[in-house]
Amino acid sequence: MKKIITYGTFDLLHYGHINLLRRAKALGDYLIVALSTDEFNWNEKHKKCYFSYEERKSLLEAIRYVDLVIPEENWEQKRSDIKEFRADTFVIGDDWEGKFDDLKDLCEVVYLPRTPEISTTQIKQDLKMTTKTGGDGK
């Protein structure tokens, strides 16, 4: 069985996330998603999530491509996760291109293209604009 592991916050789950998860699962048989905890997001990434860790975890667990969701609590845990879960492939969006090449001694590293027209950051910006203008943001 070929195991794939990926990491992310997956807040305001959207079709770009689903595309990434679908393409990651297509690379193997078993997909592990390491989901950033609320504390990690706030303390290290300086992000405030709309949905809590437990809510985001429930959403991911409902997606047919995802086999297991584990917590991501720090930047350094990737190496130990790959070893512990015997992951064959590490997958992440291509906005991280080259940043995880140091993991190639443990497994294959794949940078998947992002869905260009959507991101959680863009959704949050669009929602702010809609709120400010009282309508469609235009």
Annotated active-site residue 25? The verdict is no
Q: Which of 2, 45, 83, 104 is catalytic?
A: 45
Q: Which of 2, 3, 25, 47 is catalytic?
A: 47
**Cβ-proximal residues to 118 (8 Å cutoff; 6+ apart), any chain:** 14, 15, 16
For residues 97 and 110, what is the distance between their CA atoms, to the nearest angstrom? 9
Neighbours of 26 (CB within 10 A): 11
Annotated active-site residue 78? The verdict is no
Please give the helix or strand (H or E) that residue 41 lies within, else none. Answer: none
Q: Which value, to the nearest 10 degrees, does the dihedral of the CA atoms of residues 68, 70, 75, 79 take?
A: -60
Active site residue ranges = 45, 47
